[in-house]
């Protein structure tokens, strides 16, 4: 079976659990517990599972109640009985949301019937799992969208950062570890390291090169599973980067992140004593952490997704932006279109910067690319794909086309080549101009009527139909809530 066929099969199994009151998000957690056992056979690490909990043992239990009891025993005890730390972490505080033994038996039976061994590339198992994560993120009721960044955006950010073998990369708010998975795939595609490296060099890439931190245990569990299925034993810590623990995260060659939006509970500030400007705004604190976590040898770099308020917020926001532009070369800001994240209307940007060797005056110019003004309305009718980035990639790299960036781009920023790119969405604003605007970075958006009339916004009648469809869905949901309240 193909990746898509297996993903469809696994996702459809959620319907089996609807009668058991299991939500999509709970289903993915439940599926993770069960799927890990099956894939330990497919990917040849079943010896790391205690024998009484191995897939073949569970499959041999014919009585539904006996299987259910064994499964509950597994969830309660495997974390203390397994020697492998990843297994221990995946099953820590694990519990089942299944209430009917027959539904567990159905899941086990149906998963075993899937023809896993037909896949030529066993790393496809990781792709299958990532597809399930994306489906869960796109299911609004699951609430998991906050842990998932759109795949096309992740891949473009990685390619423009151009990671290299031997470098250490980190995501301090890693969700399901999507950025670091993409870094590993980029490195293997560009350098074929899984075939060309062995010994210490390969072990470094698989165990030490990539790391992450995640605050929410469910997301942390999914991240561990995701990494394992992609052949990585990366360090993925369960914790809060904005506490004292985060002080240990430093000297990285690169950081890629999409930190959580919002403020800490009750306006509480982080407990870090190494951050100069402590704020109740989580993104501002994460931004400080990120540029301080890069080494100062030169060429340590980061790409970070941040909401618009980070670009213009006064007070600590202004001080942090100035500190960023002093310590780093903030060379590019991409104004992203709305509608690509789980929260409708959220306006976001990607900040690309390189840590300087000195502490002051590193930013001279900032290049802006406006993907927002008169952009298509992304959604089911207009999927957000890599094609949206074609012109931005050419501008960022100074002329390298999208289809060649993986093989040809080395991550360098060439101001002269950037100047040769003719694109009305692409403009350079000097540090002096930014100073005159009180260090606001909320710039680079072009006037609506200056954009080419050929911009594909879709036919008005189609846009209207989509809006009416969404309005109808909202109305039905409200009616349902009113009925439940009555």
Instruction: State the Cα–Cα distance between residues 49 and 90, nearest whole angstrom.
Output: 12
Residues 102 and 245 in one domain: no
H or E, element range at 393: helix 390-397
Asked whether residue 40 falls in the same domain as residue 180, the answer is no
Is there a domain that residue 135 lies in? no
> Is the model more confident about 84 or about 318?
318
- Which of 303, 300, 379 shows the shortest CA–CA distance to 339? 379
Do 392 and 297 lie in one domain? The reply is yes
Q: In terms of domains, do 339 and 400 share one? A: yes
Q: How far apart are alpha carbons 428 and 419 in whole angstroms? A: 9
Q: Are residues 307 and 429 in the same domain?
A: yes
pLDDT classification of 273: cutoffs 50, 70, 90: confident
Q: Cα dist. 390→40, 99, 116, 335, 403 in Å?
A: 39, 49, 35, 15, 9
Share of the chain above pLDDT 70, in %: 83
The pLDDT, as a whole number, for residue 24 is: 66
pLDDT range class, residue 216, cuts 50, 70, 90: confident
User: Does one domain contain both 317 and 411?
Assistant: yes
pLDDT at 470 over 80: no
Position 219 confidence tier, pLDDT thresholds 50, 70, 90:
confident
Within a domain: 463: no
| Cα distance between residue 316 and residue 322, in whole Å | 10
Q: Are residues 105 and 192 in the same domain?
A: no
Question: Has residue 312 been placed in a domain?
Answer: yes
Domain count, the chain: 2
Query: For 371-383, how does the pLDDT look when each residue is reduced to its tens digit (9 = 90+)?
Result: 999 988 887 778 8
What pLDDT is recorded for position 419? 96
Residue 297 is predicted with a pLDDT of 95
**Would you say residue 473 lies in a domain?**
no
For residues 239-262, average pLDDT? 92
H/E run at residue 42? helix 24-42
Alpha carbon 165 to chain centroid, angstroms:
21
Q: Is residue 286 part of a domain?
A: yes
What would the two tokens of residue 483 be? Answer: 């009925």
Residue-wise pLDDT for 251-270, tens only, equals: 999 999 999 876 655 455 66
- 338 plus 198 within the same structural domain: yes
Same domain, residue pair 95 and 179: no
Task: Count the alpha carbons within 13 Å of 76 in the hemisphere toward its beta carbon.
Answer: 6
| pLDDT at residue 41 in the model | 84
Q: Which residue has the higher pLDDT, 397 or 220?
A: 397
**219-223, 434-438, 469-473: which has the highest mean pLDDT?**
434-438
The pLDDT tens digits of the residues spanning 432-469 come to 999 999 999 999 999 876 554 433 444 444 444 455 55
Return the pLDDT at 462: 44
What residues make up the domain containing 221?
143-450
What are the φ and ψ backbone dihedral angles of 169, each rounded to 5 degrees? Answer: -120, 150
The least confident of 8-12, 264-268, 395-399 is 264-268
Residue 361 lies in a domain: yes
Residue 50, pLDDT score: 92
Strands (E), 49-187: 169-171
Q: Mean pLDDT, to the nearest integer, of 207-235?
A: 90
Q: What is the pLDDT of residues 408-420, one digit of tens each?
A: 999 999 999 999 9
- Per residue in 170-179, pLDDT (tens digit) is 999 998 899 9
- CATH number, residue 152: 3.40.50.150
CATH number at residue 24: 1.20.1260.30
Are residues 323 and 259 part of one domain? Answer: yes
- Residue 9 to residue 12: CA distance in whole angstroms: 5
pLDDT at position 421 over 50: yes
Average pLDDT taken over every residue of the chain: 85
Residue 99: which pLDDT band, with cuts at 50, 70 and 90?
confident
pLDDT in tens, 124-180: 667 777 777 777 766 654 444 454 688 899 999 999 999 999 999 999 999 889 999
Residues 120 and 191 placed together within one structural domain of the fold:
no
| Confidence (pLDDT) at 124 | 66
In a domain, 196, yes or no: yes
pLDDT for 474 equals 57
- How is 433-456 classified by DSSP, letter by letter? HHHHTTT-----PPPGGGS-TT--
Mean pLDDT of 302-311: 96
Reported as a pLDDT band with limits 50, 70 and 90, residue 231 is confident
Report the predicted TM-score, pTM, of the whole model to 2 decimal places: 0.85
Is the pLDDT reported for residue 248 higher than 90? yes
Give the per-residue pLDDT at 460: 44
Q: Is the pLDDT of residue 28 over 90?
A: no
> Does residue 235 belong to any structural domain of this protein?
yes
Question: Is residue 64 located within the same domain as residue 205?
Answer: no
Q: What is the pLDDT of residue 7?
A: 80
């Amino acid at each position: 079976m193909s990746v898509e066929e297996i993903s469809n099969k696994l996702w459809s199994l959620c319907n089996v659990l609807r009668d058991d009151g299991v939500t999509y998000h709970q289903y993915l957690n439940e599926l993770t517990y069960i799927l890990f056992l099956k894939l330990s056979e497919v990917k040849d690490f079943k010896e790391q599972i205690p024998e009484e909990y191995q897939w073949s043992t569970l499959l041999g239990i014919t009585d539904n109640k006996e299987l259910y009891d064994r499964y509950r025993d597994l969830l309660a005890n495997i974390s203390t009985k397994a020697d492998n730390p990843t297994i221990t972490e995946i099953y820590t505080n694990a519990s089942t949301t299944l209430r009917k033994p027959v539904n567990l038996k159905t899941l086990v039976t149906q998963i075993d019937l899937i023809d896993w061994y037909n896949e030529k590339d066993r790393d496809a198992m990781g792709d299958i799992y990532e597809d399930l994560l994306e489906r869960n993120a796109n299911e609004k009721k699951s609430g998991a969208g906050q842990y998932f960044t759109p795949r096309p955006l992740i891949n473009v950010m990685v390619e423009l950062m151009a990671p290299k073998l031997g470098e250490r990369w980190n995501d301090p708010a890693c969700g399901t570890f999507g950025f670091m998975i993409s870094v590993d795939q980029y490195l293997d595609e560009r350098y074929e390291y899984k075939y060309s490296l062995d010994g210490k060099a390969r072990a470094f890439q698989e165990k030490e090169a990539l790391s992450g931190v995640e605050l929410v245990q469910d997301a942390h569990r999914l991240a561990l599973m995701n990494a394992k299925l992609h052949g990585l034993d990366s360090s993925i810590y369960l914790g809060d980067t904005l506490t004292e623990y985060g002080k240990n995260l430093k000297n990285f060659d690169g950081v890629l992140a999409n930190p959580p939006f919002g403020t800490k509970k009750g306006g509480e500030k982080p407990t870090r004593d190494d951050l100069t400007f402590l704020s109740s705004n989580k993104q501002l604190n994460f931004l400080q952490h990120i540029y301080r976590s890069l080494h100062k040898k030169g060429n340590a770099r980061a790409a970070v997704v941040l909401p618009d308020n980070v670009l213009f917020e006064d007070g600590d926001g202004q001080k942090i932006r100035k500190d960023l532009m002093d310590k780093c070369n903030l060379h590019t800001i991409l104004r992203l279109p709305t509608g690509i994240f789980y929260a409708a209307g959220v306006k976001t940007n990607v900040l690309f910067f390189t840590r300087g060797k000195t502490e002051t005056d590193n930013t001279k110019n900032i290049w802006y690319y406006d993907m927002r003004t008169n952009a298509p309305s992304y959604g089911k009718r207009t999927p957000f794909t890599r094609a949206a980035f074609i012109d931005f990639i050419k501008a960022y790299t100074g002329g390298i086309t999208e289809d060649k960036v993986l093989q040809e781009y080395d991550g360098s920023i060439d101001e002269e080549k950037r100047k040769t790119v003719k694109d009305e969405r692409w403009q350079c604003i000097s540090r002096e101009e930014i100073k005159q605007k009180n260090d606001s970075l909320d710039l680079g958006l072009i006037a609506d009527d200056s954009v080419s009339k050929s911009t594909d916004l879709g036919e008005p009648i189609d846009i209207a139909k989509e809006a009416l469809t969404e309005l109808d869905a909202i109305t039905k949901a409200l009616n349902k809530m009113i009925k439940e309240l009555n």
